[in-house]
Amino acid sequence: MLVGNFLIGLREGLEAALVVSILIAYLVRTGNRRALVPVWTGVAVAVALAAGFGIALSAASSEMQFKTQELFGGILSIVAVGLVTWMVFWMRKAARSIKAELEGRLEGALDVGPLALAAVAFIAVGREGLETALFLWTNISSSSGGSTQPIIGALLGLAVAVALGYLLYRGGLRLNLSRFFTWTGAALIVVAAGVFGYGFHDLQEAEVFPGLNAVALEPHVFFARFGEAGDWMQTVVQGVLNVTPQITWLQLVMWAAYLVPVMALFLRGASPSAPARPATTEPVTP
């Protein structure tokens, strides 16, 4: 889970960091430094809301009985995959125009007042934060080896994202956004496929769907042949692909039913027939 959650934290965190850097750079460039306070306030409230949402999910699930918990986790896993899939496609399309769109909203908010500025920052960052909290929670809750590694992976990803966002803002790094979001989007679809399949496994454990004992694959048996090296390989594969020790036929079918068409659509859309100018960040130094 460490690798998968690192990717989620990096991808989602960098999106939020880009949004914040664009907002701040615009205010600094236009001489509106006083407006930084409501913007940072909106960002802080959005981060607090996302953290509170994740804590609330954990608290709510811990009070449930086993079948109810599995039903809750399975439904939220599928919902999280739907949100992340939408985000992946939207971000690939919006990478070229996100800067102009955010600056346009901020320009209008400057005429309204501090609350409007805080609202723009809150909405822009809050959406990313809630999606991240939900997707990370589904990954952590499905971890069979405890929650320490998934949380560490997510925190490392977020830390790297913040560092990259700062470098982009200061002008020390230029990033091809279209290429970055294409590669990380494809990797995130692979992670999401595992979460999608595991969501249906949870629903089987909740007795919503039959076939819990209809096992298609047993990865733990395969990796056990390699001894200690097999344990390490199983940890890596399980962390990235959300592979469970036993994979039911329904879980396998739903994994493939998501991964194949979604990846095909994503990669087809990422390969336009006519070459276009790559979208890159335009860092502004205060």
Write out the chain's pLDDT in tens, 286 residues.
566 778 778 877 887 888 888 888 888 888 888 888 988 999 999 999 988 998 888 888 877 888 888 898 889 889 989 988 988 887 777 666 666 777 777 778 877 788 888 888 888 788 878 888 888 787 777 665 555 767 788 888 888 888 888 887 777 566 676 777 788 888 889 888 988 998 999 999 999 999 999 999 888 788 888 887 777 777 777 766 767 778 999 999 999 999 999 999 998 866 554 444 444 444 444 4
Residue 248: strand pairing partners:
215
CA angle 138, 18, 34 (to 5 degrees): 120
CA angle 42, 100, 117 (to 5 degrees): 20
In whole angstroms, give the CA distance from residue 188 to residue 208.
27
In whole angstroms, give the CA distance from residue 176 to residue 279.
6
**Element housing 248 (H / E):** strand 247-248
Amino acid at 66: F
* Residue 16 vs residues 22, 43, 53, 75: alpha-carbon distances, Å: 10, 9, 17, 26
* Residue 204 vs residues 212, 226, 248, 261: alpha-carbon distances, Å: 6, 30, 9, 24
In 3D, which of 142, 150, 145, 146 has the Cα closest to residue 69? 142
The conformation of residue 176, written as its DSSP 8-state character, comes to B
Global model pTM greater than 0.85: no
> Which residue's structure tokens are 């879980």?
251
Residue 217: strand pairing partners:
247
In whole angstroms, give the CA distance from residue 190 to residue 192.
5
**Element housing 235 (H / E):** helix 227-241
